[in-house]
Amino acid sequence: MSVTKSLLAKQATLRIDVSDVFRTMASRLESNYGQVNFTMRSYNDSQRVKVSFSYSFGKKTVKMARPATLGNDDEKDRMR
């Protein structure tokens, strides 16, 4: 499960991730041998919380590309 929030005019992002929220990573062992009944349940330590923060540096706008010119355009213009 994760939650993401944009901050600082959408230049920063805060994200919180939680894994195994309901503690479902359980293992169960059962053994019956004669009159001995053995049952064991164990839970792995798999619950994790991760917090990440990212910030975007730089401009949000990109300059338009100049039209491509070739080195021989000046020569073409002289021949006309």
The fraction of the chain above a pLDDT of 70, given in percent, is 84
CA distance 2 to 6: 14
Domain-located, residue 72: no
Mean pLDDT of 43-54: 88
Domain-located, residue 18: yes
Domain-located, residue 67: no
52 has a pLDDT exceeding 80: yes
Mean pLDDT of 18-45: 86
Domain-located, residue 8: yes
Quote the mean pLDDT of the chain: 83
Residue 50: domain span: 2-57
pLDDT value at position 80?
61
Domain-located, residue 10: yes
Domain-located, residue 7: yes
Token pair belonging to 4: 């993401």
Tally of domains in the chain: 1
The fraction of the chain above a pLDDT of 90, given in percent, is 16
Domain-located, residue 30: yes
